Structure 1
Amino acid sequence: MTSYLNPPLLQLAHRPDLDILVGRWGYQPELHELPAVYELVETTALQEHSRFWLQDIRRRTYNDPETTAWLLNSFFPDMARRLGGRLFVAYLVGPTLHDSIVSQPGFISAESYDSKPFVVSFFGDEGKATQWLQAHQPTGIH
Protein backbone atom coordinates (compact mmCIF):
# COMPACT_ATOMS: atom_id res chain seq x y z
CA MET A 1 0.00 0.00 0.00
CA THR A 2 1.36 3.41 -0.98
CA SER A 3 1.10 6.26 1.50
CA TYR A 4 0.48 9.70 0.02
CA LEU A 5 1.77 12.25 2.47
CA ASN A 6 1.41 15.96 2.02
CA PRO A 7 4.64 17.68 1.03
CA PRO A 8 6.20 19.83 3.75
CA LEU A 9 4.75 23.33 3.95
CA LEU A 10 8.18 24.89 3.47
CA GLN A 11 11.51 23.47 2.35
CA LEU A 12 14.16 26.01 3.29
CA ALA A 13 17.81 25.93 2.29
CA HIS A 14 20.64 28.42 2.09
CA ARG A 15 22.55 28.34 -1.20
CA PRO A 16 26.02 29.55 -0.20
CA ASP A 17 27.18 29.46 -3.83
CA LEU A 18 24.56 32.12 -4.64
CA ASP A 19 24.19 33.64 -1.15
CA ILE A 20 20.43 33.14 -1.46
CA LEU A 21 18.00 31.68 1.05
CA VAL A 22 15.59 29.54 -0.96
CA GLY A 23 12.15 28.67 0.37
CA ARG A 24 9.88 26.34 -1.57
CA TRP A 25 6.29 26.30 -0.37
CA GLY A 26 4.62 22.91 -0.80
CA TYR A 27 0.99 23.94 -0.51
CA GLN A 28 -1.42 26.72 0.43
CA PRO A 29 -0.97 27.15 4.20
CA GLU A 30 -3.65 27.56 6.80
CA LEU A 31 -3.21 30.75 8.82
CA HIS A 32 -2.39 28.84 12.01
CA GLU A 33 0.61 27.22 10.24
CA LEU A 34 2.34 30.49 9.39
CA PRO A 35 3.88 31.60 12.72
CA ALA A 36 6.07 28.49 13.00
CA VAL A 37 7.09 28.75 9.34
CA TYR A 38 8.10 32.40 9.59
CA GLU A 39 9.99 31.61 12.79
CA LEU A 40 11.99 29.04 10.79
CA VAL A 41 12.65 31.62 8.05
CA GLU A 42 13.78 34.14 10.67
CA THR A 43 16.08 31.69 12.46
CA THR A 44 17.65 30.41 9.23
CA ALA A 45 18.14 33.87 7.72
CA LEU A 46 19.84 35.12 10.88
CA GLN A 47 21.99 31.98 11.16
CA GLU A 48 23.13 32.29 7.52
CA HIS A 49 23.27 36.11 7.54
CA SER A 50 21.19 36.03 4.37
CA ARG A 51 19.49 39.19 3.11
CA PHE A 52 18.64 37.69 -0.30
CA TRP A 53 15.58 35.44 -0.34
CA LEU A 54 13.91 33.49 -3.11
CA GLN A 55 10.44 32.35 -2.06
CA ASP A 56 8.86 29.88 -4.48
CA ILE A 57 5.11 30.19 -3.84
CA ARG A 58 3.92 28.70 -7.13
CA ARG A 59 1.90 26.06 -5.24
CA ARG A 60 0.04 28.72 -3.32
CA THR A 61 -3.23 30.12 -4.59
CA TYR A 62 -3.99 32.94 -2.18
CA ASN A 63 -2.22 35.62 -0.16
CA ASP A 64 -3.94 36.52 3.09
CA PRO A 65 -4.20 40.35 3.31
CA GLU A 66 -3.48 40.41 7.06
CA THR A 67 -0.38 38.26 6.67
CA THR A 68 0.78 40.41 3.77
CA ALA A 69 0.32 43.57 5.87
CA TRP A 70 2.29 41.97 8.73
CA LEU A 71 5.12 40.98 6.38
CA LEU A 72 5.37 44.44 4.82
CA ASN A 73 4.90 46.49 7.98
CA SER A 74 6.64 44.37 10.59
CA PHE A 75 8.47 41.18 9.58
CA PHE A 76 10.49 42.42 6.58
CA PRO A 77 11.57 45.75 8.18
CA ASP A 78 12.53 43.92 11.40
CA MET A 79 14.51 41.30 9.47
CA ALA A 80 16.37 43.97 7.51
CA ARG A 81 17.31 45.70 10.77
CA ARG A 82 18.40 42.45 12.41
CA LEU A 83 20.40 41.38 9.34
CA GLY A 84 22.17 44.74 9.20
CA GLY A 85 21.24 45.71 5.65
CA ARG A 86 18.53 45.93 3.05
CA LEU A 87 16.46 42.76 2.61
CA PHE A 88 15.65 41.57 -0.93
CA VAL A 89 12.76 39.14 -1.40
CA ALA A 90 12.02 37.64 -4.81
CA TYR A 91 8.74 35.75 -5.00
CA LEU A 92 8.41 33.11 -7.69
CA VAL A 93 4.69 32.95 -8.48
CA GLY A 94 2.33 31.28 -10.90
CA PRO A 95 0.33 33.45 -13.34
CA THR A 96 -2.99 33.33 -11.45
CA LEU A 97 -1.50 34.32 -8.10
CA HIS A 98 0.65 36.97 -9.79
CA ASP A 99 -2.44 38.57 -11.35
CA SER A 100 -4.22 38.47 -7.99
CA ILE A 101 -1.28 40.12 -6.18
CA VAL A 102 -0.65 42.92 -8.66
CA SER A 103 -4.36 43.75 -8.89
CA GLN A 104 -4.65 44.34 -5.12
CA PRO A 105 -5.44 47.98 -4.28
CA GLY A 106 -2.29 48.45 -2.16
CA PHE A 107 0.17 46.69 -4.51
CA ILE A 108 3.61 48.34 -4.62
CA SER A 109 6.02 47.63 -7.48
CA ALA A 110 9.68 46.90 -6.71
CA GLU A 111 10.66 50.34 -7.98
CA SER A 112 8.51 51.95 -5.26
CA TYR A 113 10.47 50.47 -2.34
CA ASP A 114 13.31 53.01 -2.57
CA SER A 115 12.71 54.47 0.90
CA LYS A 116 12.15 51.11 2.62
CA PRO A 117 14.72 48.84 4.31
CA PHE A 118 13.52 45.97 2.11
CA VAL A 119 12.30 45.38 -1.43
CA VAL A 120 9.90 42.76 -2.75
CA SER A 121 9.52 41.73 -6.38
CA PHE A 122 7.52 39.05 -8.20
CA PHE A 123 8.71 36.76 -10.97
CA GLY A 124 7.36 33.98 -13.14
CA ASP A 125 10.84 32.70 -14.02
CA GLU A 126 13.31 31.40 -11.42
CA GLY A 127 16.36 32.40 -13.45
CA LYS A 128 15.20 36.02 -13.63
CA ALA A 129 14.41 36.04 -9.91
CA THR A 130 17.89 34.71 -9.12
CA GLN A 131 19.51 37.26 -11.44
CA TRP A 132 17.57 40.07 -9.76
CA LEU A 133 18.76 38.94 -6.33
CA GLN A 134 22.37 38.61 -7.48
CA ALA A 135 22.30 42.04 -9.14
CA HIS A 136 21.64 43.56 -5.71
CA GLN A 137 24.37 41.68 -3.90
CA PRO A 138 27.67 43.37 -3.12
CA THR A 139 30.30 42.48 -5.68
CA GLY A 140 32.81 39.81 -4.85
CA ILE A 141 30.38 37.42 -3.11
CA HIS A 142 30.19 34.81 -5.87
Structure 2
Amino acid sequence: MADYPPTPPLLELTLRPDLDVLLGRWHYQPQHPAELRPCYQQLADLALATGCRFWLQDLRRRASPDQQTKRWLIDEYYPEVARRLGQRLFVAYLFSPEMHRQIVEAPDYAPPEAYHQAPFALDFFGNEGTAVQWLQTHQPAGGAAA
Protein backbone atom coordinates (compact mmCIF):
# COMPACT_ATOMS: atom_id res chain seq x y z
CA MET A 1 0.00 0.00 0.00
CA ALA A 2 1.39 3.39 -1.02
CA ASP A 3 1.88 6.16 1.50
CA TYR A 4 0.24 9.39 0.44
CA PRO A 5 0.93 12.74 2.03
CA PRO A 6 -1.87 13.88 4.31
CA THR A 7 -4.47 16.15 2.77
CA PRO A 8 -3.85 19.73 3.84
CA PRO A 9 -6.60 21.45 5.79
CA LEU A 10 -9.14 23.31 3.68
CA LEU A 11 -8.17 26.59 5.38
CA GLU A 12 -4.81 27.50 6.90
CA LEU A 13 -4.94 30.55 9.17
CA THR A 14 -1.93 32.69 9.99
CA LEU A 15 -2.00 35.81 12.13
CA ARG A 16 0.57 38.33 10.92
CA PRO A 17 0.94 40.82 13.81
CA ASP A 18 3.74 42.59 11.93
CA LEU A 19 1.16 43.53 9.25
CA ASP A 20 -1.95 43.48 11.48
CA VAL A 21 -3.41 41.01 8.98
CA LEU A 22 -5.18 37.69 9.37
CA LEU A 23 -4.19 35.54 6.42
CA GLY A 24 -6.42 32.70 5.29
CA ARG A 25 -5.00 30.39 2.63
CA TRP A 26 -7.65 28.11 1.15
CA HIS A 27 -5.96 24.95 -0.13
CA TYR A 28 -8.64 23.42 -2.33
CA GLN A 29 -12.24 23.63 -3.47
CA PRO A 30 -14.41 21.45 -1.22
CA GLN A 31 -16.85 19.02 -2.79
CA HIS A 32 -19.76 20.45 -0.81
CA PRO A 33 -20.36 24.15 -0.03
CA ALA A 34 -21.40 23.17 3.51
CA GLU A 35 -17.74 22.38 4.23
CA LEU A 36 -16.94 26.11 3.99
CA ARG A 37 -18.97 27.33 6.97
CA PRO A 38 -16.92 25.63 9.72
CA CYS A 39 -13.80 27.16 8.16
CA TYR A 40 -15.40 30.59 8.11
CA GLN A 41 -16.30 30.05 11.77
CA GLN A 42 -12.63 29.31 12.56
CA LEU A 43 -11.68 32.50 10.73
CA ALA A 44 -14.20 34.54 12.73
CA ASP A 45 -13.14 32.92 16.02
CA LEU A 46 -9.48 33.82 15.49
CA ALA A 47 -10.33 37.33 14.33
CA LEU A 48 -12.52 37.91 17.38
CA ALA A 49 -9.94 36.42 19.76
CA THR A 50 -7.22 38.69 18.40
CA GLY A 51 -9.28 41.73 17.41
CA CYS A 52 -7.92 41.54 13.86
CA ARG A 53 -10.25 43.17 11.34
CA PHE A 54 -7.91 43.17 8.32
CA TRP A 55 -8.14 39.90 6.41
CA LEU A 56 -6.32 38.62 3.37
CA GLN A 57 -8.16 35.63 1.90
CA ASP A 58 -6.11 33.69 -0.64
CA LEU A 59 -8.62 31.89 -2.86
CA ARG A 60 -6.26 31.08 -5.73
CA ARG A 61 -6.86 27.35 -5.22
CA ARG A 62 -10.63 27.60 -4.92
CA ALA A 63 -13.46 28.21 -7.34
CA SER A 64 -15.83 31.11 -6.99
CA PRO A 65 -18.30 30.46 -4.17
CA ASP A 66 -21.75 29.19 -4.97
CA GLN A 67 -24.60 31.72 -4.89
CA GLN A 68 -25.92 30.58 -1.51
CA THR A 69 -22.49 30.92 0.16
CA LYS A 70 -21.90 34.27 -1.51
CA ARG A 71 -25.25 35.64 -0.24
CA TRP A 72 -24.59 34.27 3.26
CA LEU A 73 -21.17 35.95 3.38
CA ILE A 74 -22.49 39.34 2.24
CA ASP A 75 -25.83 39.38 4.03
CA GLU A 76 -24.99 37.63 7.31
CA TYR A 77 -21.41 36.58 7.96
CA TYR A 78 -19.41 39.75 7.28
CA PRO A 79 -21.95 42.11 8.93
CA GLU A 80 -22.09 39.87 12.03
CA VAL A 81 -18.28 39.60 12.33
CA ALA A 82 -17.96 43.38 11.94
CA ARG A 83 -20.64 43.93 14.59
CA ARG A 84 -18.88 41.57 17.00
CA LEU A 85 -15.50 43.20 16.33
CA GLY A 86 -17.08 46.59 17.00
CA GLN A 87 -15.38 48.09 13.95
CA ARG A 88 -15.47 47.90 10.18
CA LEU A 89 -14.06 44.69 8.71
CA PHE A 90 -11.72 44.84 5.67
CA VAL A 91 -11.36 41.78 3.46
CA ALA A 92 -8.94 41.58 0.55
CA TYR A 93 -9.55 38.62 -1.73
CA LEU A 94 -6.63 37.19 -3.68
CA PHE A 95 -7.70 35.34 -6.85
CA SER A 96 -6.12 33.69 -9.84
CA PRO A 97 -6.47 35.77 -13.01
CA GLU A 98 -9.10 33.38 -14.44
CA MET A 99 -11.22 33.42 -11.28
CA HIS A 100 -10.92 37.19 -11.06
CA ARG A 101 -12.20 37.49 -14.63
CA GLN A 102 -15.14 35.17 -13.87
CA ILE A 103 -16.06 37.18 -10.79
CA VAL A 104 -16.00 40.62 -12.39
CA GLU A 105 -17.88 39.37 -15.46
CA ALA A 106 -20.60 37.67 -13.41
CA PRO A 107 -24.04 39.31 -13.72
CA ASP A 108 -24.29 39.77 -9.94
CA TYR A 109 -20.81 41.31 -9.54
CA ALA A 110 -20.76 44.23 -7.12
CA PRO A 111 -17.66 46.43 -7.32
CA PRO A 112 -15.83 47.38 -4.11
CA GLU A 113 -17.62 50.76 -4.12
CA ALA A 114 -20.92 48.94 -3.59
CA TYR A 115 -19.85 48.19 -0.01
CA HIS A 116 -19.03 51.80 0.86
CA GLN A 117 -21.90 52.04 3.39
CA ALA A 118 -21.60 48.45 4.63
CA PRO A 119 -19.99 47.49 7.96
CA PHE A 120 -17.36 45.71 5.88
CA ALA A 121 -15.23 46.52 2.85
CA LEU A 122 -14.24 44.06 0.14
CA ASP A 123 -11.77 44.33 -2.70
CA PHE A 124 -10.36 41.85 -5.18
CA PHE A 125 -6.72 41.39 -6.18
CA GLY A 126 -4.46 39.27 -8.34
CA ASN A 127 -1.29 40.27 -6.46
CA GLU A 128 -0.65 39.58 -2.77
CA GLY A 129 1.52 42.66 -2.23
CA THR A 130 -1.16 44.95 -3.66
CA ALA A 131 -3.78 43.30 -1.46
CA VAL A 132 -1.69 43.83 1.68
CA GLN A 133 -1.09 47.47 0.69
CA TRP A 134 -4.85 47.99 0.34
CA LEU A 135 -5.40 46.55 3.82
CA GLN A 136 -2.67 48.74 5.28
CA THR A 137 -4.15 51.92 3.78
CA HIS A 138 -7.23 51.30 5.94
CA GLN A 139 -5.32 50.64 9.15
CA PRO A 140 -5.05 53.40 11.75
CA ALA A 141 -1.73 55.21 11.87
CA GLY A 142 0.62 53.27 14.10
CA GLY A 143 -0.78 49.83 13.17
CA ALA A 144 -2.50 47.43 15.53
CA ALA A 145 -1.73 49.39 18.69
CA ALA A 146 -3.57 52.47 17.44
Gaps of 5+ in 1: none
Gaps of 5+ in 2: none
Distance 1:123 1:14 in 2: 20
Distance 2:89 2:104 in 1: 20
Moved over 3 A (4+): none
Counterpart among 88, 96, 99 of residue 94 in structure 1: 96
Equivalent residue for 1:79? 81
Q: Percent same amino acid at aligned positions?
A: 50
Distance 1:87 1:13 in 2: 17
Equivalent residue for 2:17? 16
Query: Normalized against structure 2, the TM-score is what?
Result: 0.92
Q: Note the 1:1-142 alignment, pairs <5 A.
A: 1-29=2-30, 30-141=32-143
Q: Are the equivalent residues in 2 in contact too, given 1:61–1:96 (CA < 8 A)?
A: no
Tell me the CA shift for residue 6 of structure 1: 2.1
State the number of aligned residues: 142
**Cα deviation digits, residues 8-31 of structure 1 (max 9, x gap):** 100001111111000000000221
Query: What residue identity is the alignment partner of 1:27?
Result: Y
